[in-house]
Structure 1
């Protein structure tokens, strides 16, 4: 059972990661570039920043984690890489609100995959939450039919599934994957280099996306990837919700892009369900820890 100090450290880490992640999409949009150029700059700077962080850590301590820990690490890196491609594609093919609302389904994808592959059967309340969230996704995607956003919504769903798969494999392996997500961007970087060589380098304000890749993504990825070492999954999921709530607000303030009616209805269902389910899981976790403390007092 983690100590109070470790729990506080975990909350601080994930709060920093979650808040930092909320400006990812606005920075991508501010760069005003073609999708493959944005992907090239974003992943290239993230990869370099990740290597620098790891090299500094290794020079100061012999406890620096492996960049890619074994075969499971390789699979996780591949999944994060594919998820990055799907995410950036979604940014350019659907609204920000649709994108982040659908990405919120990552938590439920994780629960479903844990059930199928790890034998962790969800409780009835979790199954009910999955059903409600599926209704929200159907409402959002249904509103995109005929609007040209359907492909972008599908890419957001793919990104959500890839991240959930990476989380599930990370949990099953028990290995430190703190740097794996950062190194996994090498796949989309190689793909982006090839595509940019065909379509050309097109970006109006590259400094926004360079700042995003060099500072924002390494901080958010590293903090969120290390959070589960100190706090529970539901607590980490609560901080992932910050992007779902705040990213559409930043985009609305900067670009005056208001969510559609269907997006708001479906997104509200998703957020309310996730928050209620996460709070319930936190309550159950505290009850179990309290019971253990009574049985095995320190």
Structure 2
């Protein structure tokens, strides 16, 4: 197997593990039972501590430790992950879980669009068609919440999706390892949450859930997902966030009996079917192209 194929497989494994682990994030937040600022404070604080401890141990054992923030682009990526984290927690408390994860799935199309504009990786007609269907799905999801309190939560979910897609695209363009950068980015939400908690105090029912989430789940999932762009295209990496789209509502339904609305199910189904079909098409097209190159340039 060629080096390029090995790297592609490595990227697929990394991002798949990261995306699968991330699916328990929302259920753990809900199980903790606290207000949004307390949750953000504990989640980002434990994530930051865990990341710094792992990085310090890694550095003591190896001279090839990735940088925490690789240059100016690293700072931008860290800021985007930080803003996305604030928007995400805000969305958790201002819209339904189904709406949140379905809208977050839109980061796949954001990534394709940003790659087209800034990396000159022009989407094919099939990708453009998928983007149009994605927009339709999101409009169906948010339609009932226009003019209600949930609209703010939906907008925060969209903001989080855009921040993630932008961070992935910049990471892809830089070619640098951004695994720790995404984790260090929680400094911004941690500071904001610390200020708010200092005014209102800590309010949480079961802190061990969110501590486990911040110390284990978030560092592992975001390290894997943030390293994905080194081996895969931006849209490919973003599509692994779909695992959260599919599984998080199931975990929430099983634990909290929160049933998605009809529009959420319709819009979410459009999103999932479109993205799965597009992913399968990409994999098939990639194999076909690699086979054509192998025939054209035999070794």
Using the size of structure 1 for normalisation, the TM-score is 0.95
Which residue is 1:206 aligned to? 207
CA-CA distance at 1:148 after TM superposition: 2.4
Which residue is 2:121 aligned to? 120
C-alpha distance after superposition, 1:97-143 (max 9, x if no partner): 00000000001001111112222221111111111100101111102
The aligned runs of 1:16-27 (5 Å cut-off) are 16-27=17-28
Which residue is 2:137 aligned to? 136
Which residue is 2:68 aligned to? 67
* Structure 1 residues 34 and 269, CA gap change in structure 2 (3 angstroms): same
Which residue is 1:30 aligned to? 31
Which residue is 1:109 aligned to? 110
Which residue is 1:251 aligned to? 252
C-alpha distance after superposition, 1:234-284 (max 9, x if no partner): 554443211100000000010000000000000001111111111111111
Q: Is the contact between residue 137 and residue 267 of structure 2 (CA under 8 Å) also seen in structure 1?
A: yes
Q: Distance in 1 between matches of 2:6 and 2:173?
A: 26
C-alpha distance after superposition, 1:163-182 (max 9, x if no partner): 01101111111111111100
Are 2:186 and 1:185 equivalent residues in the alignment? yes
C-alpha distance after superposition, 1:176-222 (max 9, x if no partner): 11111000000000000011112221111110000000000011111
Which residue is 1:280 aligned to? 281
Name the SS for the 2:276 alignment partner.
helix
Instruction: Report the more deviating stretch, 76-85 or 10-19.
Output: 10-19
CA-CA distance at 1:3 after TM superposition: 5.8
CA-CA distance at 1:59 after TM superposition: 1.2
* Structure 1 residues 198 and 35, CA gap change in structure 2 (3 angstroms): same
Q: Is the contact between residue 235 and residue 282 of structure 1 (CA under 8 Å) also seen in structure 2?
A: no
Q: Is the contact between residue 136 and residue 267 of structure 1 (CA under 8 Å) also seen in structure 2?
A: yes
The aligned runs of 1:42-121 (5 Å cut-off) are 42-121=43-122
Which residue is 1:268 aligned to? 269
Identify unmatched segments of 5+ residues in structure 2: none
* Structure 1 residues 124 and 168, CA gap change in structure 2 (3 angstroms): same
Q: CA RMSD in A?
A: 1.6
The aligned runs of 1:223-262 (5 Å cut-off) are 223-231=224-232, 233=234, 235-262=236-263
C-alpha distance after superposition, 1:70-97 (max 9, x if no partner): 0000000000000000000000110000
* Structure 1 residues 75 and 4, CA gap change in structure 2 (3 angstroms): closer
* Structure 1 residues 232 and 137, CA gap change in structure 2 (3 angstroms): same
Q: Distance in 1 between matches of 2:17 and 2:173?
A: 25
Name the SS for the 2:241 alignment partner.
helix
Identify unmatched segments of 5+ residues in structure 1: none
Q: Is the contact between residue 234 and residue 282 of structure 1 (CA under 8 Å) also seen in structure 2?
A: no
Paired residue total? 298
C-alpha distance after superposition, 1:52-78 (max 9, x if no partner): 111111111111111100000000000
Q: Distance in 2 between matches of 1:69 and 1:294?
A: 39
